[in-house]
Amino acid sequence: MLVLATAVVILLSYLLGSIPTGYLVARAKGIDIRKVGSGNIGATNAFRILGKKAGVLVLLADAFKGAAAVVLAPLVAGMVLHPVPSWIPLVAGVWAILGHNFTCWLGFKGGKGIATSAGVLGALVPLALGIALAVWLLVFALSRYVSLASIAAAAALPVATVCLDRSNLPNIVVTSLIGALAIWRHRPNISRLLAGTESRFGKKPTTPAP
């Protein structure tokens, strides 16, 4: 029963995370967001291409997917497992992020997972998320690069988790994986940052970036 419950949680979490919010919101406006701006379906490109209201909608919806997966996972597993293992929400969170990053609805090409990760972390480790968010705000205020702020916050996340509770190994492992995945997904941004060609927030790129 444990294997079955875990498989169901993984599948449902992945499908929830895979809902391509940015793509759907843009399509409602007659735009294929994959072909404009940075070509990404996430909130940052939605802000640039669709405007503030649509960007906020995408941001909140993507974060909600992650939080919902974490909250719903114990309820789903609890239908057949008593008690529910404490690691079930962690598994759900990771798979919701993977669903967003590699959505099956768009050829397994999705966003970078920052908003969805924030939703997951808000449900799992809110204090560590608060520290990572503070790092994001500081770096963004100084640089105006969303990508650089996201990379810095991702790097700060596992450090914050360790500082807050070094005895909680599962949370440390999962936040390290989430942070590493976020940085890995920003590989093209890192290349552009090093080359000096990354777009600052508020400047609309004219062609999709890889």
User: What are the tokens at 46?
Assistant: 């939605």
- Percentages of the chain per state (helix, strand, coil), in multiples of 5: 70, 0, 30
User: In the predicted model, what is the mean pLDDT of residues 74-85?
Assistant: 95
pLDDT at 204: 54
Residues 106-144 have pLDDT tens digits of 999 999 999 999 999 999 999 999 999 999 999 999 999
pTM of the model: 0.92
Angle value at C-alpha 152, between 125 and 208, nearest 5 degrees: 110
Q: What is the dihedral of CA 130, 12, 97, 31, to 10 degrees?
A: -110
In this structure, what token pair is assigned to residue 178? 């989430």
The mean pLDDT of 90-96, rounded to a whole number, is 98
In sequence order, what are the residues at sequence separation of 6 or more whose Cβ sits closer than 8 angstroms to the Cβ of residue 176? Answer: 157, 158, 161
156 in Cβ contact with 117 (< 8 Å): no
- Of 100, 92, 32, the C-alpha closest to 68 is 92
CB 26 within 8 A of CB 32: yes
What's the pLDDT tens digit per position in 142-155? 999 999 999 999 99
Mean pLDDT, the chain, integer = 94
